[in-house]
Amino acid sequence: MEGFVIAVDRGRYTCVLDDAGPRAATVTAMRARELGRKSVVVGDRVALVGDTSGAPGALARIVRIAERSSVLRRTADDDETTAEGRLERVVVANADQLVIVSALADPPPRTGFIDRCLVAAYDADIEPLLCLTKADLAGPETVLDYYAELELPYVLIRPDSELDALRALLAGRVSVMVGHSGVGKSTLVNRLVPEAARAVGTVSAIGRGRHTSTSAVALRLPPTPGGDEEPGWIIDTPGVRSFGLAHVSADSLLHGFPDLVEGTVDCPANCPHTPDATECGLDAWVAAGKADPRRLASYRRLLASRAGDSDPRGEPESRGEPPGLG
Ligand SMILES: Nc1nc2c(ncn2[C@@H]2O[C@H](COP(=O)(O)OP(=O)(O)OP(=O)(O)O)[C@@H](O)[C@H]2O)c(=O)[nH]1
Ligand SMILES: [Mg+2]
């Protein structure tokens, strides 16, 4: 039987069988020995044998993982010469859309983090969507101004807002939400999928969430009125503090900055684009008003963090991660 992995918990994989209706029981499975060390993650399409009845206590086995159409990865650190930098986590497989969730306040938006997510999205060939939550608390102008040069689709969310625009963007696709803890990912999932009943947390006084969600879960979106195609899936993930990019080559980092790409056409061969690269075309590009100097600064912070020159997060955040992601 073919299935789709919707949750992973301590060696047990929750799967839905293809062609099973939305009300069908889920199948609990373990990995078969023949998978070797290959990890199974949420979003994987798998082949199952054994007891796939979904009855209480039934246990199936995952014997094969289908080739993945995309793999969203992050590392614990940016520097691949360190153990942390080599610790790579696959966040999800087969996502078509990365929903970068950022609150406009409480916790405040961090464009450095969003930039990292964009790099990861373009690198994995997953389309990005910026989802700005808590629009009832602050306006989106500063964030949108920063991305003005990019054709980055976005949605604004407030507690009472209609979700039609977001639903239309999610329809028929596998979308994964990423963002800091407390930005409202699970709150939004609960609004999109009322029976999801994902736990939501409170944001502490210093503006940091408490990592309410501890593992990734895929939820089937309700059918769109009149639509008879597969309505799509939304994957809620635990909040992350950082989005390490050690797995992305220095050249590929630039893909996360499409507004800067054209500024590098006159660079000498093998230009590192760093501030000390005197012939780098990016300084002139920004001086001519073709891109926002803050975007160039963000790109160069990422370049520097790979070399271990600065705080890999580029942001004043402490280390440490909640368990369970990836
Ligand atoms: N004012 C306001 N509060 C919101 C909004 N969306 C979510 N919240 C609140 O923000 C808090 C955190 O929401 P969660 O949905 O748990 O955040 P999360 O991103 O899932 O957090 P983790 O699971 O820890 O990663 C809750 O108290 C929500 O009620 C919003 O649009 N406006
Ligand atoms: Mg959550």
Span 232-284, pLDDT tens digits: 999 999 888 888 898 898 889 999 999 999 999 999 999 999 999 989 999 99
Report the length, in residues, of the chain. 326
CB environment 98-127: b (16+ within 10 A), e (fewer): bbbbbbbebbebbbbbbbbbbbbbbbbebb
Q: How far does residue 275's CA lie from ligand 2's centre (Å)?
A: 38
Q: Give the separation between CA 7 and CA 43, rounded to whole angstroms.
A: 8
Q: How far does residue 101's CA lie from ligand 1's centre (Å)?
A: 11
| Amino acid in position 322 | P
User: What is the number of the ligand closest to the CA of 200?
Assistant: 1
Q: How far does residue 88's CA lie from ligand 2's centre (Å)?
A: 22
Q: From the alpha carbon of 159, which atom of ligand 1 is closest?
A: 31
Q: How far does residue 76's CA lie from ligand 2's centre (Å)?
A: 20
Q: What is the pLDDT of residue 228?
A: 66
Q: How far does residue 224's CA lie from ligand 2's centre (Å)?
A: 24
Which structure tokens are listed for 306? 């790979």
Work out the pLDDT band at 32, boundaries 50, 70, 90.
very high
* Residue bearing the CA closest to ligand 1, atom 7: 184
pTM as predicted: 0.89
What values do phi and psi take at 136, rounded to 5?
-75, -15
CA angle (293, 295, 298) in 5-degree steps: 110
Q: What is the pLDDT of residue 314?
A: 40
Q: What is the pLDDT of residue 76?
A: 75
Q: What is the pLDDT of residue 133?
A: 98
Q: From the alpha carbon of 135, which atom of ligand 1 is closest?
A: 31
Which structure tokens are listed for 67? 């080739």
Span 172-206, pLDDT tens digits: 999 999 999 999 999 999 999 988 777 676 654 44
* Residue bearing the CA closest to ligand 1, atom 27: 202
Q: What is the pLDDT of residue 282?
A: 96
Work out the pLDDT band at 322, boundaries 50, 70, 90.
very low
* Residue bearing the CA closest to ligand 1, atom 13: 184
Kindly report the three-state secondary structure assignment for every residue of 273-287.
CCCCCCCCHHHHHHH
List ligand 1's pocket residues with C-beta within 6 A.
Answer: 133-134, 136-137, 157-159, 179, 181-187, 200-203, 209, 211-213, 238-239
